[in-house]
Structure 1
Amino acid sequence: MARKTYQGEKNDKNRTMNKLIQSVGVVLEKKGYTGLTIANISSTAGVDRKLISTYFGNINNLIEIYIKSKDYWVAATEQAEQSLANAKDTSTRHFIEELLINQIDQFGLNEEMQKVVLWQISEPSEIMSHVTQEREKMSSLFFAQSDKELAGKDIDLRAVSSLLVAGIYYLVLHSKTTDSTFCEIDISTEAGMDRIKNAVRTILKQTYPTD
Protein backbone atom coordinates (compact mmCIF):
# COMPACT_ATOMS: atom_id res chain seq x y z
CA MET A 1 0.00 0.00 0.00
CA ALA A 2 1.34 3.40 -0.96
CA ARG A 3 2.13 5.65 1.95
CA LYS A 4 0.02 8.77 2.18
CA THR A 5 1.99 11.98 1.93
CA TYR A 6 1.21 15.22 3.71
CA GLN A 7 -0.51 17.58 1.29
CA GLY A 8 0.69 20.73 2.97
CA GLU A 9 -0.69 23.68 4.85
CA LYS A 10 -2.49 25.07 1.80
CA ASN A 11 -4.60 21.92 1.37
CA ASP A 12 -5.38 21.86 5.08
CA LYS A 13 -6.59 25.45 4.83
CA ASN A 14 -8.73 24.67 1.78
CA ARG A 15 -10.31 21.68 3.49
CA THR A 16 -11.09 23.72 6.59
CA MET A 17 -12.55 26.57 4.55
CA ASN A 18 -14.73 24.12 2.63
CA LYS A 19 -15.93 22.55 5.90
CA LEU A 20 -16.94 25.97 7.20
CA ILE A 21 -18.71 26.93 3.96
CA GLN A 22 -20.67 23.67 3.86
CA SER A 23 -21.52 23.98 7.55
CA VAL A 24 -23.38 27.21 6.80
CA GLY A 25 -25.81 25.16 4.72
CA VAL A 26 -26.21 22.51 7.41
CA VAL A 27 -27.00 25.13 10.05
CA LEU A 28 -29.39 26.93 7.70
CA GLU A 29 -31.33 23.75 7.03
CA LYS A 30 -31.51 22.71 10.68
CA LYS A 31 -31.88 26.03 12.49
CA GLY A 32 -32.77 28.66 9.91
CA TYR A 33 -30.98 31.96 9.40
CA THR A 34 -31.25 32.91 13.08
CA GLY A 35 -29.00 29.95 13.86
CA LEU A 36 -26.13 31.26 11.73
CA THR A 37 -23.80 32.05 14.61
CA ILE A 38 -20.05 31.61 14.91
CA ALA A 39 -20.58 28.96 17.59
CA ASN A 40 -23.07 26.92 15.54
CA ILE A 41 -21.10 27.04 12.30
CA SER A 42 -17.69 26.26 13.83
CA SER A 43 -19.18 23.47 15.96
CA THR A 44 -20.87 21.91 12.93
CA ALA A 45 -17.61 22.10 10.99
CA GLY A 46 -15.66 20.72 13.94
CA VAL A 47 -13.03 23.45 13.81
CA ASP A 48 -11.83 26.28 16.04
CA ARG A 49 -14.16 29.28 15.82
CA LYS A 50 -11.17 31.60 15.41
CA LEU A 51 -10.58 30.15 11.95
CA ILE A 52 -13.70 31.91 10.65
CA SER A 53 -12.07 35.31 11.12
CA THR A 54 -8.66 33.97 10.07
CA TYR A 55 -9.89 32.60 6.73
CA PHE A 56 -12.94 34.76 5.94
CA GLY A 57 -12.42 38.01 7.86
CA ASN A 58 -15.78 37.71 9.59
CA ILE A 59 -18.85 35.50 9.72
CA ASN A 60 -20.82 37.66 7.28
CA ASN A 61 -18.25 37.08 4.55
CA LEU A 62 -18.44 33.33 5.16
CA ILE A 63 -22.24 33.28 4.99
CA GLU A 64 -22.26 35.44 1.85
CA ILE A 65 -19.82 33.10 0.09
CA TYR A 66 -22.07 30.14 0.85
CA ILE A 67 -25.27 31.87 -0.28
CA LYS A 68 -23.73 33.10 -3.55
CA SER A 69 -22.47 29.58 -4.26
CA LYS A 70 -26.01 28.20 -3.95
CA ASP A 71 -28.15 31.05 -5.30
CA TYR A 72 -29.90 30.14 -8.56
CA TRP A 73 -29.75 33.60 -10.12
CA VAL A 74 -26.10 34.20 -9.21
CA ALA A 75 -25.15 30.88 -10.80
CA ALA A 76 -27.33 31.54 -13.86
CA THR A 77 -25.70 34.94 -14.39
CA GLU A 78 -22.31 33.29 -14.86
CA GLN A 79 -23.66 31.44 -17.91
CA ALA A 80 -26.06 34.09 -19.18
CA GLU A 81 -23.69 36.20 -21.28
CA GLN A 82 -22.59 33.23 -23.38
CA SER A 83 -26.13 31.85 -23.60
CA LEU A 84 -27.50 35.19 -24.79
CA ALA A 85 -24.73 35.53 -27.33
CA ASN A 86 -25.45 32.07 -28.71
CA ALA A 87 -29.17 32.82 -28.88
CA LYS A 88 -28.96 36.35 -30.33
CA ASP A 89 -31.25 35.41 -33.20
CA THR A 90 -33.80 33.81 -30.87
CA SER A 91 -36.51 35.69 -29.01
CA THR A 92 -35.52 36.57 -25.45
CA ARG A 93 -38.90 35.13 -24.46
CA HIS A 94 -37.48 31.65 -24.80
CA PHE A 95 -34.47 32.58 -22.67
CA ILE A 96 -36.47 34.04 -19.79
CA GLU A 97 -39.01 31.21 -19.99
CA GLU A 98 -36.25 28.66 -19.51
CA LEU A 99 -34.81 30.64 -16.60
CA LEU A 100 -38.16 30.88 -14.81
CA ILE A 101 -39.12 27.23 -15.31
CA ASN A 102 -35.70 26.23 -13.97
CA GLN A 103 -36.19 28.61 -11.05
CA ILE A 104 -39.34 26.72 -10.05
CA ASP A 105 -37.53 23.37 -10.13
CA GLN A 106 -34.30 24.49 -8.46
CA PHE A 107 -35.87 26.58 -5.72
CA GLY A 108 -38.34 23.81 -4.93
CA LEU A 109 -35.46 21.41 -4.24
CA ASN A 110 -33.19 23.77 -2.30
CA GLU A 111 -34.33 23.96 1.33
CA GLU A 112 -31.37 26.12 2.34
CA MET A 113 -32.21 28.77 -0.27
CA GLN A 114 -35.87 28.69 0.77
CA LYS A 115 -34.71 29.77 4.23
CA VAL A 116 -32.40 32.38 2.68
CA VAL A 117 -35.30 34.00 0.80
CA LEU A 118 -37.38 34.03 3.99
CA TRP A 119 -34.47 35.81 5.65
CA GLN A 120 -34.22 38.26 2.76
CA ILE A 121 -37.82 39.41 3.14
CA SER A 122 -37.93 39.28 6.94
CA GLU A 123 -35.37 41.87 7.96
CA PRO A 124 -32.70 44.23 6.58
CA SER A 125 -29.40 42.45 6.02
CA GLU A 126 -26.11 43.63 4.55
CA ILE A 127 -25.44 40.07 3.37
CA MET A 128 -28.71 39.82 1.47
CA SER A 129 -28.21 43.30 0.06
CA HIS A 130 -24.94 42.12 -1.50
CA VAL A 131 -26.56 38.94 -2.81
CA THR A 132 -29.47 40.78 -4.42
CA GLN A 133 -27.05 43.20 -6.07
CA GLU A 134 -25.24 40.20 -7.50
CA ARG A 135 -28.54 38.81 -8.79
CA GLU A 136 -29.26 42.10 -10.55
CA LYS A 137 -26.31 41.50 -12.86
CA MET A 138 -28.58 39.09 -14.71
CA SER A 139 -31.05 41.92 -15.30
CA SER A 140 -28.43 44.17 -16.87
CA LEU A 141 -27.42 41.38 -19.25
CA PHE A 142 -30.89 40.22 -20.20
CA PHE A 143 -32.82 43.49 -20.41
CA ALA A 144 -30.11 45.11 -22.54
CA GLN A 145 -30.92 42.53 -25.22
CA SER A 146 -34.69 42.42 -24.71
CA ASP A 147 -34.88 46.24 -24.95
CA LYS A 148 -33.52 46.03 -28.50
CA GLU A 149 -35.96 43.30 -29.41
CA LEU A 150 -38.97 45.12 -27.94
CA ALA A 151 -38.03 48.64 -29.01
CA GLY A 152 -41.12 50.70 -29.84
CA LYS A 153 -43.45 48.21 -28.18
CA ASP A 154 -45.54 49.22 -25.16
CA ILE A 155 -44.27 46.33 -23.04
CA ASP A 156 -42.91 46.65 -19.50
CA LEU A 157 -40.99 43.39 -19.41
CA ARG A 158 -39.20 44.37 -16.20
CA ALA A 159 -42.50 44.64 -14.33
CA VAL A 160 -43.83 41.39 -15.78
CA SER A 161 -40.58 39.60 -14.89
CA SER A 162 -40.66 40.99 -11.36
CA LEU A 163 -44.15 39.60 -10.76
CA LEU A 164 -43.21 36.20 -12.18
CA VAL A 165 -39.98 35.83 -10.19
CA ALA A 166 -41.61 36.98 -6.95
CA GLY A 167 -44.67 34.81 -7.58
CA ILE A 168 -42.50 31.74 -8.07
CA TYR A 169 -40.68 32.39 -4.80
CA TYR A 170 -43.93 32.76 -2.90
CA LEU A 171 -45.71 29.78 -4.43
CA VAL A 172 -42.79 27.45 -3.76
CA LEU A 173 -42.56 28.63 -0.15
CA HIS A 174 -46.33 28.26 0.21
CA SER A 175 -46.15 24.69 -1.09
CA LYS A 176 -43.50 23.80 1.49
CA THR A 177 -45.02 25.39 4.57
CA THR A 178 -48.79 25.56 4.13
CA ASP A 179 -51.07 22.53 3.95
CA SER A 180 -53.67 24.07 1.66
CA THR A 181 -54.38 24.77 -1.98
CA PHE A 182 -53.64 28.13 -3.60
CA CYS A 183 -56.43 29.45 -5.82
CA GLU A 184 -57.74 25.88 -5.75
CA ILE A 185 -54.46 24.51 -7.14
CA ASP A 186 -52.59 21.92 -5.09
CA ILE A 187 -49.12 23.34 -5.66
CA SER A 188 -47.58 20.71 -3.38
CA THR A 189 -48.03 18.22 -6.24
CA GLU A 190 -46.15 17.88 -9.52
CA ALA A 191 -49.41 18.35 -11.43
CA GLY A 192 -50.09 21.57 -9.56
CA MET A 193 -46.65 22.98 -10.27
CA ASP A 194 -47.00 21.99 -13.92
CA ARG A 195 -50.05 24.25 -14.07
CA ILE A 196 -47.94 27.11 -12.70
CA LYS A 197 -45.23 26.44 -15.30
CA ASN A 198 -47.81 26.49 -18.08
CA ALA A 199 -49.16 29.78 -16.72
CA VAL A 200 -45.64 31.27 -16.84
CA ARG A 201 -45.33 30.22 -20.48
CA THR A 202 -48.75 31.67 -21.32
CA ILE A 203 -48.02 35.01 -19.64
CA LEU A 204 -44.72 35.40 -21.47
CA LYS A 205 -46.27 34.40 -24.80
CA GLN A 206 -49.02 36.98 -24.37
CA THR A 207 -46.54 39.63 -23.19
CA TYR A 208 -44.30 39.35 -26.23
CA PRO A 209 -45.32 40.25 -29.76
CA THR A 210 -45.57 37.26 -32.11
CA ASP A 211 -42.14 35.61 -32.36
Structure 2
Amino acid sequence: MARKTYQGEKNDKSRTMTKLIQAVGAVLEKKGYTGLSIANIASTAGVDRKLISVYFGSVDNLIETYIKGKDYWVEATIAAEETLAKASGTSSRLFLENLLLEQIDQFTLNEEMQKVVLWQISEKSDIMSHVTQTREKMSALFFPYSDKELAGKDVDLRAVSSLLVAGIYYLVLHTKTTDSTFCEINLTTEEGINRIKDAVKFILKQTYGVK
Protein backbone atom coordinates (compact mmCIF):
# COMPACT_ATOMS: atom_id res chain seq x y z
CA MET A 1 0.00 0.00 0.00
CA ALA A 2 1.33 3.45 -0.96
CA ARG A 3 2.14 5.72 1.94
CA LYS A 4 -0.02 8.81 2.33
CA THR A 5 1.77 12.09 1.88
CA TYR A 6 1.49 14.42 4.84
CA GLN A 7 -0.79 17.29 3.95
CA GLY A 8 -1.15 18.95 7.37
CA GLU A 9 0.73 22.18 6.70
CA LYS A 10 -0.83 22.59 3.26
CA ASN A 11 -4.32 21.95 4.61
CA ASP A 12 -3.75 24.31 7.54
CA LYS A 13 -2.73 27.07 5.16
CA SER A 14 -5.77 26.48 2.96
CA ARG A 15 -8.13 26.46 5.95
CA THR A 16 -6.59 29.62 7.39
CA MET A 17 -6.80 31.45 4.06
CA THR A 18 -10.46 30.43 3.77
CA LYS A 19 -11.15 31.64 7.31
CA LEU A 20 -9.57 35.00 6.57
CA ILE A 21 -11.49 35.46 3.32
CA GLN A 22 -14.75 34.56 5.03
CA ALA A 23 -13.90 36.91 7.90
CA VAL A 24 -13.70 39.83 5.47
CA GLY A 25 -17.32 39.15 4.50
CA ALA A 26 -18.42 38.83 8.11
CA VAL A 27 -16.76 42.11 9.10
CA LEU A 28 -18.11 43.85 6.01
CA GLU A 29 -21.65 42.71 6.77
CA LYS A 30 -21.48 43.65 10.45
CA LYS A 31 -19.36 46.81 10.46
CA GLY A 32 -19.22 47.98 6.85
CA TYR A 33 -16.08 48.78 4.87
CA THR A 34 -14.79 51.14 7.59
CA GLY A 35 -14.45 48.12 9.87
CA LEU A 36 -12.11 46.21 7.55
CA SER A 37 -9.01 46.49 9.72
CA ILE A 38 -6.33 43.86 10.25
CA ALA A 39 -7.38 43.51 13.89
CA ASN A 40 -11.08 43.04 13.12
CA ILE A 41 -10.49 40.54 10.32
CA ALA A 42 -7.96 38.47 12.27
CA SER A 43 -10.14 38.48 15.38
CA THR A 44 -13.21 37.39 13.42
CA ALA A 45 -11.21 34.62 11.71
CA GLY A 46 -9.70 33.56 15.04
CA VAL A 47 -6.14 33.56 13.69
CA ASP A 48 -2.90 35.47 14.29
CA ARG A 49 -2.96 38.79 12.42
CA LYS A 50 0.56 38.10 11.09
CA LEU A 51 -0.89 35.36 8.88
CA ILE A 52 -2.64 37.99 6.75
CA SER A 53 0.75 39.23 5.57
CA VAL A 54 2.18 35.72 5.33
CA TYR A 55 -0.62 34.36 3.11
CA PHE A 56 -1.86 37.46 1.25
CA GLY A 57 0.99 39.96 1.44
CA SER A 58 -1.25 42.69 2.85
CA VAL A 59 -4.74 43.29 4.19
CA ASP A 60 -5.59 45.12 0.94
CA ASN A 61 -4.72 42.01 -1.08
CA LEU A 62 -6.89 39.91 1.23
CA ILE A 63 -9.85 42.27 0.85
CA GLU A 64 -9.39 42.40 -2.92
CA THR A 65 -9.29 38.58 -3.05
CA TYR A 66 -12.58 38.46 -1.16
CA ILE A 67 -14.28 41.06 -3.36
CA LYS A 68 -13.17 39.44 -6.62
CA GLY A 69 -14.52 36.12 -5.38
CA LYS A 70 -17.93 37.68 -4.71
CA ASP A 71 -18.23 40.27 -7.46
CA TYR A 72 -20.88 39.34 -10.05
CA TRP A 73 -19.13 40.96 -13.01
CA VAL A 74 -15.79 39.31 -12.26
CA GLU A 75 -17.45 35.89 -12.23
CA ALA A 76 -19.57 36.71 -15.28
CA THR A 77 -16.47 37.68 -17.24
CA ILE A 78 -14.96 34.24 -16.74
CA ALA A 79 -18.14 32.61 -18.07
CA ALA A 80 -18.34 35.10 -20.96
CA GLU A 81 -14.87 34.19 -22.19
CA GLU A 82 -16.08 30.65 -22.80
CA THR A 83 -19.49 31.55 -24.21
CA LEU A 84 -18.36 34.21 -26.67
CA ALA A 85 -15.38 32.18 -27.83
CA LYS A 86 -17.44 29.07 -28.61
CA ALA A 87 -20.67 30.56 -29.93
CA SER A 88 -19.98 33.00 -32.76
CA GLY A 89 -23.70 33.15 -33.58
CA THR A 90 -24.81 34.16 -30.07
CA SER A 91 -27.08 37.22 -30.05
CA SER A 92 -25.26 40.02 -28.23
CA ARG A 93 -28.63 41.49 -27.24
CA LEU A 94 -29.80 38.32 -25.55
CA PHE A 95 -26.37 37.81 -24.02
CA LEU A 96 -26.42 41.32 -22.50
CA GLU A 97 -30.04 40.92 -21.44
CA ASN A 98 -29.21 37.75 -19.51
CA LEU A 99 -26.24 39.46 -17.86
CA LEU A 100 -28.36 42.39 -16.67
CA LEU A 101 -31.27 40.28 -15.44
CA GLU A 102 -28.85 38.09 -13.53
CA GLN A 103 -27.20 41.22 -12.11
CA ILE A 104 -30.57 42.25 -10.67
CA ASP A 105 -31.07 38.86 -8.98
CA GLN A 106 -27.51 38.48 -7.71
CA PHE A 107 -27.10 42.02 -6.40
CA THR A 108 -30.50 41.95 -4.70
CA LEU A 109 -29.49 38.86 -2.71
CA ASN A 110 -25.86 39.74 -1.97
CA GLU A 111 -25.84 42.18 0.96
CA GLU A 112 -22.06 42.04 1.28
CA MET A 113 -21.62 43.22 -2.31
CA GLN A 114 -24.16 45.96 -1.72
CA LYS A 115 -21.82 47.31 0.96
CA VAL A 116 -18.86 46.92 -1.41
CA VAL A 117 -20.58 49.03 -4.08
CA LEU A 118 -21.46 51.65 -1.47
CA TRP A 119 -17.77 51.71 -0.59
CA GLN A 120 -16.82 52.03 -4.26
CA ILE A 121 -18.96 55.13 -4.76
CA SER A 122 -18.24 56.67 -1.36
CA GLU A 123 -14.47 57.11 -1.43
CA LYS A 124 -11.42 56.65 -3.62
CA SER A 125 -9.64 53.37 -2.97
CA ASP A 126 -6.81 51.45 -4.64
CA ILE A 127 -8.64 48.22 -3.83
CA MET A 128 -11.81 49.29 -5.63
CA SER A 129 -9.78 50.70 -8.53
CA HIS A 130 -8.23 47.27 -9.07
CA VAL A 131 -11.63 45.55 -8.82
CA THR A 132 -13.16 48.02 -11.27
CA GLN A 133 -10.34 47.37 -13.75
CA THR A 134 -11.08 43.64 -13.48
CA ARG A 135 -14.77 44.30 -14.13
CA GLU A 136 -13.85 46.25 -17.25
CA LYS A 137 -12.47 43.06 -18.79
CA MET A 138 -16.10 42.23 -19.58
CA SER A 139 -16.33 45.42 -21.67
CA ALA A 140 -13.19 44.49 -23.59
CA LEU A 141 -14.72 41.08 -24.30
CA PHE A 142 -18.32 41.99 -25.05
CA PHE A 143 -18.35 45.29 -26.93
CA PRO A 144 -16.08 44.26 -29.84
CA TYR A 145 -18.42 41.28 -30.22
CA SER A 146 -21.57 43.45 -30.17
CA ASP A 147 -20.00 46.04 -32.50
CA LYS A 148 -20.06 43.49 -35.30
CA GLU A 149 -23.78 42.86 -34.81
CA LEU A 150 -24.58 46.59 -34.63
CA ALA A 151 -22.32 47.63 -37.52
CA GLY A 152 -23.95 50.41 -39.54
CA LYS A 153 -26.47 51.31 -36.82
CA ASP A 154 -26.33 54.62 -34.98
CA VAL A 155 -26.30 52.99 -31.52
CA ASP A 156 -24.09 53.75 -28.53
CA LEU A 157 -24.46 50.46 -26.71
CA ARG A 158 -21.69 51.35 -24.26
CA ALA A 159 -23.66 54.37 -23.02
CA VAL A 160 -26.93 52.42 -22.85
CA SER A 161 -25.23 49.60 -20.94
CA SER A 162 -23.64 52.10 -18.52
CA LEU A 163 -27.03 53.55 -17.64
CA LEU A 164 -28.60 50.12 -17.20
CA VAL A 165 -25.83 48.70 -15.00
CA ALA A 166 -25.67 51.85 -12.86
CA GLY A 167 -29.46 52.04 -12.66
CA ILE A 168 -29.70 48.47 -11.39
CA TYR A 169 -27.10 49.16 -8.71
CA TYR A 170 -28.90 52.30 -7.57
CA LEU A 171 -32.39 50.80 -7.54
CA VAL A 172 -31.27 47.84 -5.42
CA LEU A 173 -29.35 50.07 -2.99
CA HIS A 174 -32.29 52.48 -2.77
CA THR A 175 -34.63 49.62 -1.95
CA LYS A 176 -32.32 48.27 0.75
CA THR A 177 -31.76 51.61 2.50
CA THR A 178 -35.21 53.23 2.31
CA ASP A 179 -38.81 52.18 2.86
CA SER A 180 -40.17 54.18 -0.06
CA THR A 181 -41.19 53.17 -3.55
CA PHE A 182 -39.26 54.38 -6.60
CA CYS A 183 -41.38 56.04 -9.30
CA GLU A 184 -44.34 54.36 -7.57
CA ILE A 185 -42.80 50.91 -8.06
CA ASN A 186 -42.40 48.72 -4.98
CA LEU A 187 -39.09 46.98 -5.59
CA THR A 188 -39.44 44.77 -2.52
CA THR A 189 -42.07 42.75 -4.38
CA GLU A 190 -41.67 40.22 -7.17
CA GLU A 191 -44.05 42.28 -9.30
CA GLY A 192 -41.87 45.37 -8.87
CA ILE A 193 -38.67 43.51 -9.76
CA ASN A 194 -40.34 41.98 -12.82
CA ARG A 195 -41.39 45.44 -14.02
CA ILE A 196 -37.74 46.53 -13.89
CA LYS A 197 -36.68 43.39 -15.74
CA ASP A 198 -39.31 44.00 -18.42
CA ALA A 199 -38.04 47.58 -18.78
CA VAL A 200 -34.48 46.30 -19.29
CA LYS A 201 -35.70 43.97 -22.05
CA PHE A 202 -37.70 46.79 -23.65
CA ILE A 203 -34.76 49.21 -23.65
CA LEU A 204 -32.46 46.64 -25.25
CA LYS A 205 -35.02 45.76 -27.92
CA GLN A 206 -35.41 49.44 -28.76
CA THR A 207 -31.63 49.89 -28.81
CA TYR A 208 -31.18 46.99 -31.22
CA GLY A 209 -34.25 47.90 -33.27
CA VAL A 210 -36.03 44.64 -32.47
CA LYS A 211 -39.83 44.63 -32.74
CA drift of 1:100 comes to 0.2
Map residues 97-176 of structure 1 onto 2, 5 A cutoff. Answer: 97-176=97-176
Q: Which moved more, 1:112-121 or 1:201-210?
A: 201-210
SS in structure 1 at match of 2:155? coil
Map residues 1-211 of structure 1 onto 2, 5 A cutoff. Answer: 7-210=7-210
The residue type equivalent to 1:69 in the other structure is: G
C-alpha separation in 2, matches of 1:15 and 1:6: 15
**What are the superposed Cα offsets for residues 39-63 of structure 1, whole Å, 9 maximum, x if unpaired?**
1000000000111111111100000
SS in structure 1 at match of 2:184? coil
SS in structure 2 at match of 1:47? coil
SS in structure 1 at match of 2:136? helix
The residue type equivalent to 1:138 in the other structure is: M
The residue type equivalent to 1:145 in the other structure is: Y
SS in structure 2 at match of 1:181? coil
The residue type equivalent to 1:181 in the other structure is: T
C-alpha separation in 2, matches of 1:175 and 1:197: 15
C-alpha separation in 1, matches of 2:37 and 2:195: 40
C-alpha separation in 1, matches of 2:88 and 2:206: 21
C-alpha separation in 1, matches of 2:81 and 2:123: 32
TM-score by length of 2: 0.95
**What are the superposed Cα offsets for residues 119-140 of structure 1, whole Å, 9 maximum, x if unpaired?**
0000000000000000000001
Structure 2 residue ranges without an equivalent (≥5):
none
CA drift of 1:6 comes to 6.5
The residue type equivalent to 2:97 in the other structure is: E
C-alpha separation in 2, matches of 1:210 and 1:17: 49
C-alpha separation in 1, matches of 2:131 and 2:123: 14
C-alpha separation in 2, matches of 1:49 and 1:116: 23
RMSD of aligned residue pairs (Cα, Å): 1.3
The residue type equivalent to 2:131 in the other structure is: V
C-alpha separation in 2, matches of 1:72 and 1:100: 10
The residue type equivalent to 1:72 in the other structure is: Y
CA drift of 1:173 comes to 0.6
TM-score by length of 1: 0.95
Q: Which moved more, 1:183-192 or 1:5-14?
A: 5-14
